Copies of this chain bind each other. A is one copy, B any other.
Amino acid sequence: MQLENSELYRFLALNGVGHGSSYGFSSSSYDFQIMQSFSNSSISETSPQDRALAALKNHKEAERRRRERINSHFNRIRSLLPCNSKTDKASLLAKVVQRLRELKQQAVEITEMENLPSETDEIRVLSCDYSSDGTSIFKASLCCEDRSDLLPELIQILNSLHLKTLRAEMATLGGRIRNVLVVAADKDHGIESVRLLQNALKSLLERSDSKRSV
C-alpha cells in the first residue's frame, strides 16, 4: 500500500481527524474518502482545499500517464532487442547504446569497405548483427592473388561452417581478386562463426602464399 497525500495526512492529524484503518484501501477509493471529508466540512463549496485537492489528483494522473508512456516505449524496445521481457531498464538502455554505436560504426565501414582488389593481401570480417533474434549476419572481405581453386575452397569453407551466403561479389583486376561475402550464421553458433570464418580465410590466404613462394 502506498503512502500518499502526506501533507494532508499531517493537516488532518493536526485537526484531530484520524484516518484509522484506511491503510489497506485502494488508491482511488482513498482519495474519494478524503474528498468527502473535506466537502463535508464547514468551508464553502469551491474552497481552496477543494481546488488544491483536484489539482493534486490531476497531477497524480498526469504523472501516471507519463510513466505509462515511457514504460510502453521500454516494452517496445524490449521486443526489438535480443533480450527477454524481464531485463531491467538500465541494462536495456545499455544495450540500446551499444546497438546505436554499432549502427554509427557501419557508416564508416560502408565507406571504407573497398570492393576493388588492393595490392596487399587482407581479410576483413565484420559483424553486422542486424537481426533481433539469434541469427547474426556479417560481412567478410578477402583480397589475394587470383587462382582457379579459390572459389571452390571458399564455397567449401562456407558449407562446412553452415553459413548461408546471402550475397557475393567478386572483382578481379591485374591478376588479383577481391571477394565480398554477406553471410548469415544460425543462431546457435552466431558468435564463434565469425572467428571460425576468420581463421579459415586466414589459412586459405596462407595456402595461397605458400603456393606462390614455391
Contacts and interface: CB of A to CB of B under 8 A. Distances in A.
Interface of A: 3, 6-7, 9-10, 13, 66, 69-70, 73-74, 76-77, 80-81, 89-90, 93-94, 96-97, 99-101, 103-104, 106-107, 110-111, 113, 115, 128, 130-132, 137, 166-167, 169, 182, 184
A93 to B, nearest CB: 4
A90 B72 CA distance: 9
A36 B96 CA distance: 45
Contacts of A81: 100
Nearest to A130: B107
A1 B186 CA distance: 56
Q: Is the interface of A mostly helix, strand, loop or mixed?
A: helix
Tallying the copies of this chain within the complex gives 2
A115 B73 contact: no
Interface centre among A73, A81, A128, A137 (most CB of B within 10 A): A73
A131 B104 contact: yes
Among the interface residues A3, A94, A97, which one has the most CB atoms of the partner chain B within 10 A?
A97
A63 to B, nearest CB: 12
In the A-B complex, the 6 residue pairs with the closest CB atoms: A107-B130, A73-B93, A6-B6, A80-B100, A111-B166, A107-B131
B110 A167 contact: yes
A110 B137 contact: yes
Nearest to A3: B6
Contact of A103 (B10, B90, B103, B113): B103
Given A13-B13, A167-B115, A80 B104 contact: yes
Nearest to A171: B169
A77 B99 CA distance: 10
Contact of A9 (B6, B96, B104): B6
With most chain B CB atoms within 10 A of its CB, the pick from A74, A76, A101, A113 is A76
Contacts of A13: 10, 13
A166 B110 contact: yes
Nearest to A139: B110
